Amino acid sequence: MQLADTDLFVHPLQLGGNPFGWGADRDQSFAVLDAYAEAGGNFIDTADAYSAWVEGNSGGESETIIGEWMKARGNRDDMVIATKVGMHPKGRGLDPANIRNCVDASLRRLGTDRIDVYYAHRDDDDVDQVAVAETFDALVRSGKVSYLGASNFSLERLQKARKISTKFSLACYRVVQDRFNLVSRSAVDPQKQAYLRSEGMAELPFHSLASGFLTGKHTGGDATGSVRGDRVADFVDDQKALGALEVLHDVAADHEASMTATAIAWQLTHDFIPSTIASARVPEQLTELLAGMEMQLSPEEKTALDGAWVEA
């Protein structure tokens, strides 16, 4: 699938690198990456901040593991690598000097001379926006970065950033990342969807399984075995979320498929989503994720899932 209007062609499942270095150690991460590549996957998402929140980590662990894996397998040119700047504990924000320092650190950890998609991990109102755009543009012109992305940007801020890039003939954001799944849609509301379509931009959603809630494995409130159990708890006592889960269960049952695969398939019915992000701690978890790439939902099933959740 072509990624927006870039020259990148990516797998519809983007492998999230968030667990590498905490939920999955180096060997487990290598096993997941191997299984993903063997299944035809080529699109990996990470960030310089992953996984600084874990005791003993400092950030950059995920990038390091991915870089070591690509070096060991000799497959850098086969992979499309996305990473982010702005949330590392020692490199917060989008100050131009910070961006320049952080991109070089990411390149070193990844063991590569270029980053295919480089994101502003979140918006930063405290810096001059023209300077931010000029700094990202310089990275593209230097060849250190191929394309730019914006993560966790409001529609208003995304529009302003694109206008700055157009006005000064600078490289602009081509792709965006937001939290978007069956039970969390406010970050990509109909207005933002319309804007993405009008600009030919791609949405690459994260939290595609609502931190595991949409797998259906924790509906009783038991998060045993989940490294994100506290996030699942936000949904398990929500009757509206549980109602949406019932609709997902029924559609999955009709296909004799897992709820995981069905949740992924629903995301990919959206024309502005060429690829969705999901992570795995062990290779076995990839099976259900990849199955979602093959599922074809009927118009009636999509309508049922679309209507299963209405934001308050």
Q: What is the pLDDT of residues 231-243, one digit of tens each?
A: 677 787 688 999 9
Q: Model's pTM, two decimal places?
A: 0.95
**What is the pLDDT confidence band of residue 25, given thresholds at 50, 70 and 90?**
very high
Cβ pair 117, 80 in contact under 8 A: yes
In a domain? residue 211? no
**What is the pLDDT confidence band of residue 312, given thresholds at 50, 70 and 90?**
low
The pLDDT > 90 percentage for the chain reads 90
Asked if pLDDT for residue 288 goes beyond 80, the answer is yes
Active site residue 118: no
The pLDDT > 70 percentage for the chain reads 95
In a domain? residue 213? no
pLDDT at 218: 65
pLDDT at 221: 47
Residues in the chain: 312
How many CA atoms does the CB half-sphere of 260 hold within 13 Å? 18
**Average pLDDT of the chain to the nearest whole number:** 94
Report the alpha-carbon distance of residue 127 to residue 132 in Å, rounded: 7
Report the alpha-carbon distance of residue 155 to residue 178 in Å, rounded: 11
Report the alpha-carbon distance of residue 117 to residue 119 in Å, rounded: 7
Q: Which of 22, 30, 63 is nearest to 227 (CA)?
A: 22
pLDDT at 231: 64
What are phi and psi for residue 117, nearest 5 degrees?
-135, 120
Q: Which of 293, 282, 242 is nearest to 1 (CA)?
A: 293
Q: What is the mean pLDDT of residues 59-78?
A: 98
**Count of domains forming the chain:** 1
Report the alpha-carbon distance of residue 27 to residue 29 in Å, rounded: 5
Classify strands 43-45 and 115-120 as parallel, antiparallel or unpaired. Answer: unpaired
pLDDT at 264: 98
Asked if pLDDT for residue 224 goes beyond 50, the answer is no
State the CATH number of the domain containing residue 140.
3.20.20.100
Domain encompassing residue 50: 13-177
Asked if pLDDT for residue 170 goes beyond 80, the answer is yes
Q: What is the pLDDT of residues 187-217, one digit of tens each?
A: 999 999 999 999 999 999 999 999 999 999 8
In a domain? residue 261? no
Secondary structure of 227-284 in HEC code, one letter for each residue: CCHHHHHHHHCCHHHHHHHHHHHHHHHHCCCCHHHHHHHHHCCCCCCCCEEECCCCCH
Residue from 36, 50, 118, 147 carrying the catalytic annotation: 50
